[in-house]
Amino acid sequence: MSKPTPTEIGDAYDASADLLDQVWGENLHHGYWVDAADDASLRQAGNRLTDRLAGLLAIKPGDRLLDIGCGVGEPAIQLASAHDIDVVGVSISQRQVRRANDRAAAAGLAGRLSFQHGDAMDLPFPDESFDLVWALESLHHMPDRWHVISKAARILRPGGRMAIGDFLLSGAEGTEADAASVDLVRNGVLKLVDIETYQSHLRAAGLVPDDAEDVSDHTRPSWGKAAELFEAARALAEQHIGAAQLNLTISRFHQLSAAPTVGYVLLTAHKPA
């Protein structure tokens, strides 16, 4: 199986928007748990992961941030509320864009937040037009994440910074061959690289790597939590995706939860001034 095209990904998110909204919640990304005793919900832990990545950036009031793969806008709303910044979000899903704009208006932030339909492979923004670029758990969807990073580097102002949350090949736990035992890795949907490879591609895009935090152990509970949520909402989920697809989804969540080679990394880099 080859990686889905941007259009296919957008269609999939459009079709599953209501289900994800009701089951996963506004944060369409992993969460961060401090330790095994941490009983935070997936939503609470998702907000915590947003805060943790934001903490690696030098965010200043008035900064302009581009959110690549903005989902329904929760991280953007959280960032704008906490840091008094302007955010432009892009998503390949029309329904996500509408939902994000509605949520920004309801939060009283429509003047500082805007969301638009767009393909991250061809960002429609002028050179050096953003202070910050944010890509939280979206780059793994892209046909070529390195191409997206190079385009994002183009629109960053000199001295601007990029923040990324992405899946990682956790080399301390295994090898690429071990990761290939995971269905989504083997069939090409989820492509994993180690931190060193990631940073070399950031350099190739003209960026200087800064922080690289392997948070695999803190984010891995997300898969099990997601499986529990979908199982608890089985009747609703089956209405949207059918029993067979739901069972496959839950099975894959459990498989990923048990795969130590599938990790998670928070990265930042800056564009030389």
Mean pLDDT of the chain: 90
Q: How confident is the model at residue 3 (pLDDT cuts 50, 70, 90)?
A: low
Residues belonging to the chain: 273
What gap in Å lies between CA 251 and CA 55, rounded to an integer?
A: 34
Give the three-class secondary structure for 129: coil
The pLDDT value given to residue 182: 79
Residue-wise pLDDT for 152-179, tens only, equals 999 999 999 999 999 998 865 555 666 6
User: Rounded to the nearest 5°, which phi and psi values hold at 88?
Assistant: -115, 125
Q: Which amino acid is at 103?
A: R
Residue 109 has a CB neighbour count (10 Å cut-off) of: 18
Residue 61 pairs in a beta bridge with none
Chain centroid to CA 145: how far? 12
CATH architecture for residues 6-270: 3-Layer(aba) Sandwich (3.40)
Query: Would you put residue 267 in left (φ > 0), alpha (ψ -120 to 50) or beta?
Result: beta
| 262: its two tokens | 């599938």
Alpha carbon distance 16, 61 (integer Å): 35
Token pair of 109 as six digits: 């932030």
Task: Check residue 104 and give its pLDDT.
Answer: 95
d(CA 38, CA 44): 11
What DSSP string describes 48-62? Answer: HHHHHHHTTS---TT
Percent of the chain with pLDDT over 90: 70
Calpha distance 148→265 (Å, rounded): 17
- Which region among 2-6, 159-163, 246-250 has the lowest average model confidence (pLDDT)? 2-6
Helix or strand or coil: residue 78? helix
pTM of the model: 0.92
